[in-house]
Amino acid sequence: MKKIYLLAAAGLMMMTGCDLDINQDPNYPTSADISAELQFPSVLSAIADASGDQMFNYAGFFAQYFDQMPEANQYNDLAELNIDESKDIFNRCYNNIYAGALMDIEDIKTKTNNTANLFACQVMRTQAFQLLVDNTSETPYTEALAGASNSSPKYDDGLTVYEGVLNELDAAEQALEGSDIITMTDPMLNKSLAQWKGYANALRLRMYLRLIDGGQSSYTSKVTALLAANNFFTGNVVWDVFSDQEGQYNPWYQSVFRLTSNHCAAYPIVSYMEYTADPRLGYAINPRSSDNTFVGQFPGSKQEPAIVGTSYKNSDVSGINYDVAHAMPIYMFTQSELQFLIAEAQMRFNNNPAAAKAAYEAGVAADFSSRGVSGAAEFLAAAGSWDAAADKLKLIYMQKWTALFMRDHMEAWSEIRRTDVPALSSYSAAQILKDATVYSAGDLIAPAVNKKGNNNIAMSMPYSSNSRKYNVNTPKTARQITDKVFWDVK
């Protein structure tokens, strides 16, 4: 009953941030009728829905976890990079974040002076803008959320947005008064200010690393300070309000479960997990029905007869096990991702292999645990061994990519772009099909049918077509999915 109540309440309150005419129904609640304490779940719900539904789906293709099933066609555009503003893929995410979460945060600010409440709101505002920048680089920020007084806010560059919200986060934490406690309804972190501070620090670490790799080396000292303080959240940060009943499913599953023949596993993730004898392989990937083996599909290949032949069937590839997604929470930040980020930072900035090893192994163990899969210790003693790895940073990055599968695809895609791991293979799908020995297990593969050509993969999203329609300050030059975000300078 708790989950049902929370979903209903969050769905109702999320509508308060949109431009709706409520005068037709005098019983419909206005913003003034909803307290800050009850409005906060709508913020959490809107951001979770953006990252856990649409972003989860398209980033799953871009991270090469998913491909389009041979006998289905719903997501051919994603598999083949046939994406521009006209496809409207980013619209729902853009609307949920701006008209939903961020407008609700602005409304909450007018209703409470509680510094703990405002800090939690700022943590979510920071993550919301991080997601926006990681998709389109430029996004409205300094002039955004002014309502009718400025309906066409300018687009700010990604660096301005990243640094702006991080400064806001620092200010909100510095403003905390010792007597203030979180009073808002908080089904995500249960009103624990310590957990919210740990979540804020994890977001800082994630964003600092992107800033550093984007050329802002001054953030290195901030990373080492975070490592020294070691004040991070415990467990996973999840929006866990779903149940295995129609209307209450995980939103990604709710949107695809009537089309459950659409997703098959992509060749890179299957090849890497088989290469490392990873016991997590069967968690969300089904063996193909023809011979009970795991076979991933070459990205963007289902419409390329030279790759798949002329009688290609669903039974020829491994499907995604949708059963794990029915009531799956939306992972806002996993403990495994956090530990892998710590491991990387310990290696790169502290030159501390022992601390890095401990964090790396904790990251692997946390992911095994979250899936209910046994064998973490054995995996870490074999293919996942830290001591045996010649390139320890690559091991961290590859295991992070593995652990984010069916957890947080948007962060997987962002981390691929930041680290260039998995690397993009220099061999085409046709070349790998002809001679598999040229392929390094786990490497990304340019789609066989590639509407962008030239061995391209997705590097960002186009601007929202709704922004194009209604905001005259949307950049005149359309953003291509081959354009990089500001922190991706490699």
Going from the C-alpha of 370 to that of each of 223, 364, 373, 404, the distances in angstroms are 27, 10, 8, 11
- pLDDT (0 to 100) of residue 319: 96
> What is the Cα–Cα distance from 105 to 488, expressed in whole angstroms?
29
> What is the Cα–Cα distance from 229 to 313, expressed in whole angstroms?
54
Residue 169, helix vs strand vs coil: helix
- pLDDT (0 to 100) of residue 342: 99
Read off φ and ψ for residue 266, nearest 5 degrees. -85, 155
* Domain 2-258+324-470 fold: 1.25.40
Q: How much of the chain is helix, strand and coil, in % rounded to 5?
A: 55, 5, 40
> What is the Cα–Cα distance from 347 to 200, expressed in whole angstroms?
22
| 44 alpha carbon, distance to own chain's centre | 15
Beta bridge partners of 285: 320
- pLDDT (0 to 100) of residue 37: 86
Listed in sequence order, the DSSP H helices in 214-334 are 220-229, 251-256, 267-275, 281-284, 305-308
434 burial type by CB count under 10 A (0-12 exposed, 13-18 middle, 19+ buried): exposed
For the chain, which ranges sit under pLDDT 50? 1-28
Neighbours of 435 (CB within 10 A): 9
Read off φ and ψ for residue 285, nearest 5 degrees. -125, 130
> What is the Cα–Cα distance from 408 to 412, expressed in whole angstroms?
6
Domain borders along the chain are 2-258+324-470
Contact 64, 435 (CB under 8 A): no
Q: With a threshold of 0.85, does the pTM exceed it?
A: yes
Of 92, 74, 167, 102, nearest to 135 by C-alpha is 92
> What is the Cα–Cα distance from 48 to 36, expressed in whole angstroms?
19
The model's pLDDT over 187-230, given as tens digits with 9 standing for 90+, comes to 999 999 999 999 999 999 999 999 999 999 999 999 999 999 99
Check whether the bond before 422 is cis (ω within 30° of 0).
yes
Please provide the DSSP assignment of 421-460 as one string.
Answer: -SPBPSS-HHHHHH-GGGPPTT-B---SS-TT-TT----S
The model's pLDDT over 446-478, given as tens digits with 9 standing for 90+, comes to 999 999 998 999 999 999 999 999 999 999 999
Contact 380, 366 (CB under 8 A): no
- pLDDT (0 to 100) of residue 34: 82
> What is the Cα–Cα distance from 227 to 176, expressed in whole angstroms?
22
* CA angle, residues 359, 365, 371, in degrees to nearest 5: 140
